[in-house]
Structures are given as C-alpha cells and as structure tokens.
Structure 1
Amino acid sequence: MQPELQNQQPYQPPAPQQINAAIPDGNTPQQQPIGSGQQPVDQTSKTQSPKDKKKNGAISTQNTLLFSEMRDNMIIMSDGSFRAVVECQSINFDLMSAREREGVEFSYQNFINSLYFPVQILIRSRRVDIGPYLDRLAEIRRNQDNMLLNVLMDDYMDFIDVLAQEANIMDKSFYVVVPYYQKGDESVTKQQAKGLFNSFFSGKKETSVTKIDQVTYTKAKDEIKNRLDSVMSGMFQMGVKSRQLNTRELGELLYTSYNPDTSSRESLASIDPSDLTTTYITKGQGPPPAGRGLL
C-alpha cells in the first residue's frame, strides 16, 4: 500500500531577488533600533593623545592633603588659613555629684557662648598596643629572684595577653582645633558648603605653593595666640587641663591620623627631625625592586 502524496507540494527554492532583498547591502539604510535615546557613538575611532592621558591620570596623594606645612606650633593649610591644636585631658563626669555636674554644664555653656570664632572638637579612639607593656613586665620578671613573684607575674602577663586579644582596649584622646582664616570666618562657611569630596573627584590638580607674607603671618600668629588663651581659659573653668601641641606633636598627630596601621609599628618619636632632608616624596621610576611586593 502506497502512502498518499496528493496534498504534498514539491520544494521550490526562492528566487534570487528574494534572497538579495533579505540581506541588506551597503546602500540600503538599516532599520533604527527601538527607543528614543541617543544612539551610542563608536569610541574605537577616538584616540587620546599622551597629554590627555597624563591629564586624566590618577590624583596624587600629595595633592589631596589639605595642609601645606607646620611652623611655630601651627599648621598652615593649603588655602592659606592656620590651625592650632589644644590637647585636653578627660574628667570623670559620672563620678561627680549633682552639684558638680551642674557647675561643669554651666561652665561649658559659658565657654561656648563666649567664643567669637568657630572651633572643632576632635575625639580620636585608638587601640592600645599592649606589646611594650608586656615587654617591660618580662624585663622586670627576669630581674626578679623571688620564685613566687615570678609565678604571679607569669599569670598576670598571660591574663593581660588573653584580655588584649579578646577585647579591644581603646584609648581616647580629646583635642580642640582653633582655626584662623585671612578672609574672615563668615566667608569660609560658603567655601566649606561645597563639600570636601569635590577636592577628590575634581580631577588631577597641579601642586601649588602656599605664599604668605610676613605681615599676614605675624597677624595670624597673634590672633591664634589670643584664641588659644580664650579656649584654655574656658577649659580651666570646667576643670579640664589643656595644653597646646608643639610642632613635633602636630606632626605625630597628622602621621597617626593618616597612617593608623603603620604608626603603631613605626613611631616618629625615635626619628630625629634633622635627618629628614627630603621635603617632597615622588614616585620612583621603573619596576619595583625584586623580592618586594606591593603593600
């Protein structure tokens, strides 16, 4: 029995004109994609010159620093303003009586109302390094002849070591930053309203040198001294001991602020300032030395 093939039609290849119509040639305009947005531009044809690449390079760390130098116990900022820092000791407010607390609160209120210039209160929390303390205890133990005291010191050292590993022992420092602006304190408020992040994302900046004449510097130094006396007098009324940081201590404060991890291992206290002969740090040329990876 043969199958029925009456309803089937033989296959006919399409005409050449139909095949050519399905494939667009160079003269036929292509159909635009759906959407009302602007069509993407081919970026492969654009090439950047070496000057444009250098101009669009990464921002240097030195250009992002907001200070220029430190001199006469002051920090000279990149915009020509000045800063002085007062370190304050803490007081135990919780152990005070109600009358003592009220006296501290009124003194703080009078201190804030007496200020005619802006101040910044800085609180820094750092993890305490117990290593030097344990090394000192180990040195005392080696010089101890009493066996009972040696056993007690071993237990105490083990307790301190375990406690430092399990809990974060923090040390808080309190500072009051006293500024001085050449253009006045009110005009600086508009400048600070632009935001700090503009300096990081505004592109690569050229290294600028801050120039201040002797008259302006002397005036700023005298005004900073008057403001420091006002701040330290207000702190004394609250029962808070305070002192101004010198130039070396200002450098250590900035160093520990910008390098929190490195400063715990490499301290500036053992470095002689006369050994620092290089003012600016530049990037080295060529590949890094063999055997040293990037940090």
Structure 2
Amino acid sequence: MLLPIVILLLCLVGGGAVLLYLKSSKPKSSEQANLSGQTAQQFVNVQDIRGNFLFTQDGWLLSYLRIFPISLDLLSASEKKMLIQKLTAELSSIRFPFKFLAVSRPVDISPLISELASVLPIANPKQKELLRQEIAEMNNLALSGEVVERQFYLILWQRQENGERDLLEKAKRLVQHFEDGQVQAHVLKQHEIVQLCNLVNNPAYTHLEDAEVSATIPFLREV
C-alpha cells in the first residue's frame, strides 16, 4: 500500500519540476528573441551623438573631456611637487562626479619607416648598417602592434531634462581648472566622440580620423 503512494508522490514532484522548468524557460526564449532583434545601437543604450554630447535611450546626457598627458620624466622633483599642488588646488573646488577613462590607440609608424628607407641610398656603409637595423626593429614593432599611444578622457553626465547648457558649462569649467593647473584639455566634439567610441570598441581600428559612422560604448549602462 505504501509503494503506490510513494510512486504517486514522485510523479507529482517530477511533473511539478517539469512544469516549473518549462515556465521559467519561456521568458528566456522570449528575451533572447528580443535581443536578437535589436540593433547594436539599441543594445548598448545609445540614442544619438550630436554636438558635444552623447544621448542615451534611458534619458542620460554625456560629455567627454580629453586630458593631454605630460612627461613627468622631464620635470624636476620640485616641479613635480608644484604641479601636484596646482592640480590639487584647482580640482578641490569640483563638486560634481566624473569618470576617468584611459585607452590605448595604435600608432601608424609607416611614415617613419619610409623616411628611414629614403635616407638609406645616400648613407655611408656604417650608417646603412644602423639604418637597416632600425628599419628591421620598426617593422617588428609595427607587426607586433605594440606601438600604442595612451589617451586619457573624463566623462561627465546628467539627466537630459537638466539641459545641455548646464553640462557643457561644467565641462568647460573643468577644462579651465586643468589648464590653470598647466595640463592641456578640451571638450570633445561630435566627430571626436565618434572616434572615441570606435577606439573603445575596436582598439585595432587605426583610421579614427576618417570615422564617420556612429558607434557605441558598452559601459554606458553603468551610469
């Protein structure tokens, strides 16, 4: 008598588990179908890139600043200390959030290789030997992709309903603080934002100056 009851209970538990699995799997299939029907721009939440701003679909407005690096190796210890004090004093008044972004951009060294090759025919034997070694080293670097330039950016954001003027004023104010601290900076324009988007998504993309296609930034969803 006990055995049929146990079998019935097992059947009920097994059937319930199957129904629960089927029920939970339906939304996933529907969600996957929705994702497959989205464009890349819809998937990463970018609505438009216009002027000095990137607009997101969920109502955010983003502005970007490029910070040009300086060579600290060229500064003495006292000059480094003075630079730190200036930047600290300038940025201490900033009361709004921003993000820091550092990306590597491949550098095209083919013009340098061509210039060295053009000097080769008129060089003396010793110079030719040195030039050949340098050209071979440059070719190895070009093929390895290790020749990169580090670029640094700051990202500012706010809700779209707060207006573009307010965010642009914040960006310009931050640029002025950096320049007063002897660090060059500027607010990115539309084509520069597009270049940055391409650089973030495809680090091997070297022809950024010719980029005319709107791109997208995956980390926008973190804002």
Q: Structure 1 pair 44/135, CA: closer, same or farther in 2 (3 Å)?
A: farther
Instruction: Give CA deviations for 1:43-72 in whole Å, capped at 9, x if unaligned.
Output: 389878xx9676232534443313211111
Instruction: Give CA deviations for 1:224-253 in whole Å, capped at 9, x if unaligned.
Output: 232122111110122101112110010010
When normalised by structure 2's length, the TM-score is: 0.71
Q: Which residue is 1:209 aligned to?
A: none
Instruction: Give CA deviations for 1:97-122 in whole Å, capped at 9, x if unaligned.
Output: 33322322222222332112111121
Q: Which residue is 1:179 aligned to?
A: 157
User: Match for 2:164 among 208, 212, 221?
Assistant: 221
Q: Which residue is 2:49 aligned to?
A: 70
Q: Which residue is 1:290 aligned to?
A: none
Counterpart CA distance in 2 for 1:152 and 1:136 is 15
Identical residues among aligned pairs (%): 17
Does 1:91 find its partner at 2:51? no
Does 1:254 find its partner at 2:194? no
User: Match for 1:138 among 97, 108, 114?
Assistant: 114
Q: Structure 1 pair 44/162, CA: closer, same or farther in 2 (3 Å)?
A: same
Counterpart CA distance in 2 for 1:30 and 1:245 is 71
What value does the CA root-mean-square deviation take over the aligned residues? 3.8
Equivalent pairs counted in the alignment come to: 204
When normalised by structure 1's length, the TM-score is: 0.56
Instruction: Give CA deviations for 1:258-284 in whole Å, capped at 9, x if unaligned.
Output: 2234x24xx35335x4xx6x99xxxxx
Q: Structure 1 pair 102/268, CA: closer, same or farther in 2 (3 Å)?
A: closer
Shift of 1:87: 0.9
Counterpart CA distance in 2 for 1:47 and 1:101 is 65
2:92 alignment partner, SS class: helix
Does 1:108 find its partner at 2:87? yes
Q: Structure 1 pair 124/32, CA: closer, same or farther in 2 (3 Å)?
A: same
More helix by share: 2
Which blocks of at least 5 consecutive residues in structure 2 are unaligned?
A: 216-223
Q: Structure 1 pair 253/230, CA: closer, same or farther in 2 (3 Å)?
A: same
Give 1 or 2 for the bigger CA radius of gyration: 1
Q: Which residue is 1:120 aligned to?
A: 99
Q: Structure 1 pair 93/56, CA: closer, same or farther in 2 (3 Å)?
A: same
Which blocks of at least 5 consecutive residues in structure 1 are unaligned?
A: 1-20, 183-215, 280-295
Q: Which residue is 1:270 aligned to?
A: 210
Counterpart CA distance in 2 for 1:163 and 1:52 is 50
Counterpart CA distance in 2 for 1:57 and 1:157 is 51
Does 1:55 find its partner at 2:30? yes
